[in-house]
Structures are given as C-alpha cells and as structure tokens.
A = this chain, B = another copy of it.
C-alpha cells in the first residue's frame, strides 16, 4: 500500500485501508501484521483525536529534537527521525476474528511519518490461523 505524506512529521490514519485489505483477502481468523519498510517511519495503534495527535508529535519532538548534534546528521539531516522510529517500532500485529480486525473502540492504526513529505510503502501481511 502506497502513502503520500504531506508534512515532515505526521500521523496518517490507515485503519480503513487495512480493514479493506482484510475484507478483500477473505481471511476469517488469524493475524494481520502492518509494517513499514522505511527507517524514518513507524506504525502505532492509538486513538485518533486531534489534541492527542498533536500531543504525540509534540512529545516526540521534545524528546528527540531535530539537529541536536547527532553524528548521522553529518551525512543526512534526519538522525532524529531514525531515533523516533526506533522507539515507536516498525510494525504492529493485530488479531483477526470472524473476518474483522480485532480493534478496541478507540484503537486506530497510524502510519507515522518522521522525515517527510515523501512517497512511502506500508506492508500488510495476513496470516490465516489453521486448526491445531
């Protein structure tokens, strides 16, 4: 799945797209692994509320500010994006039951852009459960 991000750091809600992939796959029970192939992006699950989206990005920027004397910035000005990606993680695994993602009431799947804007790719692997 391709994503065109529009900001340097940004949360993109991809829940609907992942749900569609599950429906199209015809998988009934199993797991869905949502992962990123980039080292300056991440996948997280959380609530999609405007204030909270701001808090998440603000927290990351304060914890790991851009251009704070990192060695990697000598060759590429995005060491902060790599560090942010590492603490967030590059994948999330979600159970699938009865043909649907098992997500809580407030849970949404976010692609986290940390060094945009760019063209990005998200992988969605669907693994069917087989009977023991």
A residues at B contact (CB < 8 Å): 25-28, 30-31, 33, 35-39, 44-47, 49-52, 54-56, 59, 63-64, 70-75, 79, 82-83, 85-95, 102-107, 121, 123, 125-132
Contact = CB atoms under 8 A, between A and B. Distances in A.
Given A47-B82, A54-B71, A72-B51, A35 B127 contact: no
A24 B79 CA distance: 35
Give the number of copies in the complex: 3
Contacts of A86: 44, 46, 56, 88
Contacts of A121: 104
Contacts of A59: 64, 83
A47 to B, nearest CB: 5
